[in-house]
Amino acid sequence: MGRHFFPPTTDHRPPTTEMRHTISILLANEAGELSRVVGLFSARGYNIETISVGKTILPNFSRCTIVTEGDEKTVDQIIKQCSRLARVREVKAVTTLPHIEREMGLVDVNAKTPTERQDILNIVDIFRAKVVDMSHDKMILEISGNKDKVDTMIELLKPFGVNETARTGCVAINRLSPFEPIENNRD
């Protein structure tokens, strides 16, 4: 196989209905409740791309944000079964409405020479990231934004030698207004 240039519009893969879904679930902050939710995915062989759980302003309730890939019908079914669980108060398919998604990543990257260090700082500046730790030959950067932004920055750092990354997974919340804002594209 030589190198061939395929125009980006040509996709030879079979058509698929699989798409990325972000689901936000408000559930009791009790032992085992998260297992119930996660079980609905694993029972179907669905991988959870990211999952993050945190307290909410309601005492005793946590919000769990799950990102998964799957066909719409099955995800819809998971959502319905999820809302049937006794300790689940609310399930939202965030992706169906304008929403804000954010995740945070910590990146351990090599920065051996002053030039490299300067280049990395430029990237940090452009992505509005932060340097949170530094040694003679390495830096740890903190980046937050939507998945694409975090992906892109890590991609740009790879030539320097990325040693490790840790990402929080996505949290999401619906927008106050129904408009898709420009800011979304900027991120």
Partner 1 sequence: MEVQNMKTATETYSKPIAFESQNIQPQVAPRGAEVLVRALIKNGVDTIFGLPGGAVLHIYDEIWRYRDQVTHYLVRHEQGAVHAAEGYAKATGKVGVALVTSGPGATNAVTGIADAFLDSVPLVVITGQVPSPLIGTDAFQEVDTFGITLPVVKHSYLVKDVNYLEAIVDEAFHLAQSGKPGPVVIDVPKDITAHLCENPKKLHEDFLFEEKEKNLDESTIEKICEKFLSAKQPIFYIGGGVVTADASAEMLQLAEKLQIPVTPTLMGLGGFPSAHDLCLGMLGMHGTYASNMAVAESDLLIAIGVRFDDRVTGKLATFAPNAEVIHIDIAASNIGKIRKPQIPLQADAKTALLAILKKLETYEFDSMTAKRGEWWHRINNWRNSVPLSCEYSENEIKPQQVIEELHRVTNGDAIVVTDVGQHQMWAAQFYPLKRSRQWLTSGGLGTMGFGLPAAMGAALGCPKDLVVAVVGDGGFQMTNQEIITAIQYKIPLKVIIMNNGYLGMVRQWQEMFYDRAYSEVDLSISPDFVKLAEAYGALGLRATKPGELREVLEAGLNNDKVAIIDVVVSKEENVFPIVPAGGNSRDMILK
Q: Which residues bind partner 1 (CB under 8 A)?
A: 28, 30-32, 35-36, 39, 43, 58-61, 76-77, 80-81, 83-87, 89
Report the residue number, 30 or 137, with the smaller CB distance to partner 1.
30
Instruction: In angstroms, give the least distance from the CB of 87 to partner 1.
Output: 6
Round to whole Å and give the CA distance between 151 and 142. 13
Shortest distance in whole angstroms from residue 138 CB to partner 1: 39
Nearer to partner 1, 17 or 177 (CB): 17
- In sequence order, the 6+-apart residues with CB closer than 8 A to the CB of 137 are 110, 111, 112
CB of 20 vs partner 1, minimal distance in Å: 22
How many other C-beta atoms lie within 10 A of the C-beta of residue 127? 19
Helix or strand (DSSP H, E) at 154: helix 147-157
Pick 33 or 103: Cβ nearer partner 1: 33
